[in-house]
Amino acid sequence: MPSRWKRRPDGSNWGDFGDDDELGRLNFLTPEARKRAAGYVEEGLTFCLSLPLNLPGGNIVHRLRHPPRLFALPRDEEGALNYNYPLANEKVGATDIVSDDYVTLATQYSTHWDTFAHVGQSFDADSDGVAEPVYYNGWRAGIDVVAPDPATGSARTSRLGVETMARAGLQGRGLMIDLCHHLGSSRRVVSYDDIMRIIEADCIEVEPGDLVCFYSGFGDRIVSSAGTLDRSDVQPAHCPELDGRDQRLLKWIDGTGLSALISDNFGIEALPA
């Protein structure tokens, strides 16, 4: 039994992929699953699923998350900028001219991928009657997910960071369930029955390792607003969202072997979750 926990939350998959696992269902993205995904390629086209980094605009979605700011990189303490800078100033005969930027960015401002270090819970993993803050697979707050140094503000985590997922690779078969087409783009809580009707109508088969994307139409609203969303647009979001309390829906997600849920709305599931 792992030393980090003696009991796991009901319905969780702690330990299913190993005591020290940090990937969860991304373990279903096996070489075999990727090879199968490659077999679906017909035209070899590429396209981007990310929003522009400056959207949704303002801090309507979250009061603490502001748009990214782009700066020219300072070159010296006198305020000179490393922009259109001729390297001939450094070396006689040099012909290159360089420009450098830096960006401040809230990592959850625009399109992003949540890691297991994003949300944990208070849970009695030690089975001693006292709940402690833990994350996926029993990794501990304050030990494995460490708060920033108050002197520098630099954040770090020794476990469950996004770099762990990035190294594993997130390539696989993307599969879209079109909520917007079948249910409209208005506010609606989507049930297991709704999903099953869409899957049947569109002849969809979810395979182990699939990256399943729910298209709600809200991403279109963000783009068309050009950064001028109103608070009423997002609280609650006017789009279909999954019913996270529908036990049949949760069991279906678990049983398919899909590796990740993706959506063009903010939380995938409706609040209260």
Strand partners, 132: 123
Please identify which residue in the block is written with the tokens 């002197």: 151
Inter-CA distances, 245 with 135, 238, 269, Å: 21, 19, 9
Inter-CA distances, 145 with 9, 116, 126, 136, 156, Å: 19, 10, 18, 11, 7
133 three-class SS = strand
The secondary structure element, H or E, covering residue 123 is strand 121-123
- Among residues 27, 59, 257, the alpha carbon closest in space to that of 137 is found at 27
Q: pLDDT of 150-192, one tens digit each?
A: 777 676 788 999 999 999 989 999 999 999 999 998 889 999 9
**Calpha distance 124→122 (Å, rounded):** 7
- Among residues 189, 249, 253, 255, the alpha carbon closest in space to that of 216 is found at 189
**Calpha distance 88→93 (Å, rounded):** 6
Q: Name the band, by pLDDT with cuts 50, 70 and 90, for residue 2.
A: low
Residues 6+ apart with CB under 8 A from 105: 53, 68
Q: Amino acid letter at 273?
A: A
Q: Is the pTM of the predicted complex or chain greater than 0.85?
A: yes
**Calpha distance 229→238 (Å, rounded):** 12
Asked if 141 and 135 count as a contact pair (C-beta separation under 8 A), the reply is: yes
Strand partners, 140: 134
Inter-CA distances, 118 with 41, 70, 146, Å: 33, 25, 12
**CA angle 162-163-166, nearest 5°?**
90
pLDDT exceeds 80 at position 260: yes
Q: Name the band, by pLDDT with cuts 50, 70 and 90, for residue 272.
A: confident
pLDDT at residue 258 in the model = 97
pLDDT exceeds 70 at position 1: no
Q: pLDDT of 227-239, one tens digit each?
A: 888 877 777 678 9
pLDDT at residue 238 in the model = 83
Q: Determine what percent of the chain falls in helix, strand and coil, rounding each to the nearest 5.
A: 25, 20, 60
pLDDT at residue 190 in the model = 97
Q: Name the band, by pLDDT with cuts 50, 70 and 90, for residue 47.
A: confident
